[in-house]
Amino acid sequence: MSTADDHHSRAIAALANRDYELAGDAYTRSAWARLSEPRDGRSPFEADENGWVGKGIASLVIAAVAYRVADLPSRATHRGVEGVAVTRDLGRALDHPVQQACLDEFVADCRVAGGLDDPATAYGEAAEAYEAAADTVESPQRWGTTPLFEAAAGPLQQAARSVANGEIAIAWEDLHGSDPSNPGSFLAHRAQYKRRRFPELVDRVLADGHLAAPRGTTEYNNANHRCPACDATDVNWVTGHTLCMRCSTPMSK
């Protein structure tokens, strides 16, 4: 297991135990490790069509949310500011116009998660960047399923399932436009949708005081597991942990 994966696993365990300060610390350490070496032998300063470095940025976003749930707003602010700075710097390597638009989307996410000023303007800039990149995109579906774009969807989806009883509340289809033949609008929908939903979802997570673990492999009505907290038998297997799909509590047999 890589250092980044090890810290990520610790972050999931901390979420399961509702120790959100520890989760923020572990997500931060996972981010730093992932940003240092996105994949084995790969530098974050090299061009990468897949954009593996996006996983590191996403961890900074979730770290910021975790710190806010832990009532540590200054640390959340630090992660948000750090995320914006790192994301801007990565634009030197991820130089395809549509990747740079996705990085603009990440900047807005960092602003929401860290409680920074004016995320709506940042999302507007991301949407404009997607529209401007349209002529360089042959298959928006392919770009939307690269690690960079999937990483940018992760924090939104994790926040959504936190307030939706563990279900998939935001699917890939929700995040994108309906017409892939119009790639600018198809991808710009990501930023427009997030501008409406992500701030609201983060506010609800903070009000509930609960940030769920991300969704991994799930099974409904598993007779071998039962949640000691809510009595559910729906299971979420994620990063080596067996958690309740509903409330992220470690499951017992």
pLDDT tens readout for residues 168-217: 999 999 999 999 999 999 999 999 999 999 999 999 999 999 999 999 99
Q: What is the pLDDT of residue 74?
A: 98
Q: How far is CA 92 from the centre of its chain?
A: 22
75-86 per-position pLDDT tens digit? 999 999 999 999
Of the candidates 223, 64, 229, the residue with the CA atom closest to the CA atom of residue 159: 64
Q: In what order do the strands lie in the sheet with 217-219?
A: 217-219, 235-238, 241-244
In the predicted structure, residue 2 carries a pLDDT above the cut 90: no
The token duo for 169 is 């509340």
Which DSSP helix (H) or strand (E) runs through 160? helix 147-162
Residue 1 has pLDDT above 70, yes or no: no
**Percentage of the chain lying above the pLDDT 70 cut:** 99
Instruction: Tell me the sheet residues that pair with 235.
Output: 219, 244
Is it the case that residue 88 has pLDDT exceeding 80? yes
Q: In whole angstroms, what is the distance from residue 68 CA to residue 66 CA?
A: 5
Structure tokens at 132: 């401007």
Q: What is the mean pLDDT of the chain?
A: 96
Can you tell me the distance from the alpha carbon of 61 to that of 78, in angstroms, rounded to the nearest whole number? 11
State mean pLDDT over 235-240.
97
Q: Which residue is listed with tokens 């907290």? A: 229
Contact 216, 244 (CB under 8 A): no
| pLDDT tens for each residue of 127-139 | 999 999 999 999 9
Q: How confident is the model at residue 252 (pLDDT cuts 50, 70, 90)?
A: confident
Q: Give the tokens for residue 125.
A: 């800039």
Q: State which amino acid sits at residue 57.
A: I
Cβ atoms < 10 Å from Cβ of 168: 13
Distance CA 37, CA 240 (A): 22
Average pLDDT over residues 69-78: 98
